[in-house]
Amino acid sequence: MSKALFIGGTASHVGKSWFTAAFCRLLLRRGERVAPFKAQNMSNNSYPCIEGGEIGRAQAMQAEACRLPAMADMNPVLLKPTSSTGSQVVIQGRLWAGLAAREYYNHSEFLFAKALESYARLAAQFGWIVCEGAGSVAEVNLRGRDITNLRLAEEIGAGAILVADIERGGVFASLVGTMDLLPDSQRDLVRAFAVNRFHGDRTLFDEGVSFLEDRLQIPCLGVFPFERAITLDEEDSLAIDDARVADTDIGVVRFPRISNFTDFQNLGPVEWLTSPRERQYRVIFLPGTKNTIEDLQWLRRQRLDQWILQQHANGALIVGICGGYQMLGEIIDDPDGVESAHGSAPGLHLLPVRTVLRREKVTRVVEAVTPSGRPFRAYEIHMGETNHDSHFALASGVIGTYLHGAFEDPEVAKELLHIEAKRVDKDAMYDRLADWLLAHARPEVLEALLT
C-alpha cells in the first residue's frame, strides 16, 4: 500500500512547494517510487501532461524532482483565473467549465471524488505520494468545501507537516493560531512543524522552537534558512511581488492575468511593468495571459500600448509570447465568447497576423527549431489560432511565438534576443534542495515522518 505525506501551510507562499519537491527528491534518492500530488491548485502557470492536458507548473516541477513526466492525476483540479471572481476549471488535465467562485463551490463533492480518483490511480503505481496543500489549512469558512487540505489527508491517512514562513513575521501566531483553529481529528494528523526562510543565526530562535514545541505538543522538523541559490518554478504571481527591482534594460509587462511568467526566469533581472516608464528598454516582453482581450484592454487603459509602440520606434525589441503574441497582431476575434464579451479587439499592429480564439485548448510539448535551425524543446498552452505557420513570427524589431519555455534555453535566448541567459541544471538543483532538507532537518523527526 502506498504511503503518503501531506505538506500543509499556515498561509500561501510559505514554501509548501519547496518542501514537497525536497521530500520527492529525497525519497527518490532512497530508492522509492514517489510522485507528487495536489488535489486542487489555483494557478495560471501550467505545463502539458504526457497524456495530454495540463497541470499546475509547480506539480510539473515536483514531477521533475521525481524524474517523472507531468501526469494529469498529479493535479486533478486546476483553477485558472480569468477574472477576479471566475476561473477556468480543468479536471484531470482537461478543461471542464468556466465558473464563478460561488458556482465552483456547488461542485465540491464531485471535485473531491475526482481528486480521490486521481490519488487512487497514483497510489496504485507509486510507493510514496507527497501531497501539497493549498493556502492555509485553517480556512474555517471553506472547511466544509475543502478538497485539497486536511480533509484530503484524513481521507488518505497521511501524516502532515505544517510549514510557516518566519520572513513575513508573525510565525508564533500563525502556527499557534492555525493549530488552534483545526478540529481535533485534523490536529492529530499534524506530526511536525517547520519554520521556513530564516535569516541569520538560527540559534537565536532556539527559545522560539522550545516555546512552539511546548505549546503545540508536536516536534519541530527544523528551522530552515532562506536559500537564494536554489530557484524552482513558481506557481503564482506572489513570486513576482517578492522579486527585487534591479537595474536592467529588460522589461516585462505584468498583466493582471499573467500566465507562465517562468518564461523569464533564466534571463537575469527583469523589471515588471504596469505603467509607462521614462527610460528606454532594450527588450520588452508581453507575456502569456489567461484573458487576452481583457488584458489588452487593460494595456490600453494603462497607456502602455502607445508607450510600447514608441519604445519599438526607438529601437526596443518587442517580444510577445502566447497571449502577448496575439496582442502584437492586427486583430483578435472571439466569436464564441471564449474569454470575454467584447467579440473582438484590434491588436498593436506590430505583426501581420490575425488570431481567432477557439474553445478547444492546445496543450502540447513541442520539438521546435529557431530560425537558424537550432533544435530546442518548448510547450504550448493556448486557446487561439493564429495565421502563421512557423514557430516564430518575425518582423523588424518584433518577435511573436506560442512557445512557452523557449527563452529558458540559453541558445535560443542568445540567437533571438542577444541575451546571455543562465544555464540551469534542474536535476542538480533538486539534489541541492534535498541536501538543504537533510542539512537543516532534525534527523529523528525526519525519520519518524518517513516510517
| CATH number of residue 187's parent domain | 3.40.50.300
- pLDDT value at residue 342: 76
For 122, the domain range is: 3-231+428-449
Candidates 397, 390, 430, 433; CA nearest to 416 is 397
pLDDT of residue 227: 87
Query: Percent of the chain, pLDDT > 70?
Result: 97
Domain membership flag for residue 317: yes
Within this chain, do residues 123 and 53 fall inside the same structural domain, yes or no?
A: yes
Q: Give the chain's residues under pLDDT 50.
A: none
- Residue 382 covered by a domain: yes
Same domain, 311 and 226: no
In Å, what is the CA distance from 56 to each residue of 8, 236, 254, 360?
17, 10, 20, 19
Give the pLDDT of residue 210: 98
Cell numbers of 283, please?
527588450
Residue 34 and residue 159 share a domain: yes
Indicate if 190 and 167 belong to the same structural domain: yes
pLDDT at 243: 53
Taking residue 69's Cβ as centre, other Cβ atoms within 10 Å add up to 15
Judge if 89 and 196 occupy the same domain: yes
Could you tell me if 217 and 75 lie in one domain? yes
- CA angle (204, 208, 212) in 5-degree steps: 160
Catalytically annotated residues: 322, 404
Q: What is the pTM of this model?
A: 0.91
Cβ-proximal residues to 367 (8 Å cutoff; 6+ apart), any chain: 375, 377
> Same structural domain for residues 149 and 208?
yes
**Residue 246 counted as domain residue:** yes
Residues 122 and 21 in one domain: yes
- Domain count for the chain: 2
Q: Are residues 225 and 261 in the same domain?
A: no
In a domain, 422, yes or no: no
**Farthest-apart Cα atoms in the chain, separation:** 67
What's the rounded Cα separation, in Å, for the pair 382 and 371? 22
**Cα–Cα distance measured from residue 195 to residue 202, given in angstroms and rounded to the nearest whole number:** 11
Residue 344: CB atoms within 10 Å: 16
In a domain, 259, yes or no: yes
Residues 339, 396 within the same domain? yes
Which residue has cell 499546475? 56
The residue type found at 330 is E
Q: Find residue 400's DSSP bridge partners.
A: 320, 393
Residue 121 lies in a domain: yes
- Which CATH number covers residue 353? 3.40.50.880
Grid coordinates of 248: 536592467
Q: Do residues 215 and 252 share a domain?
A: no
The answer to whether position 423 is within a domain reads no
* Residues 349 and 219 reside in one and the same domain: no
Q: Give the chain's radius of gyration (CA, Å).
A: 22
**143 alpha-carbon distance from chain centroid:** 24
For residue 85, what pLDDT is reported? 76
Residue 64, in any domain of the structure? yes
pLDDT at 309: 98
Instruction: Round to whole Å and give the CA distance between 132 and 145.
Output: 17
Cell of 45: 502557470
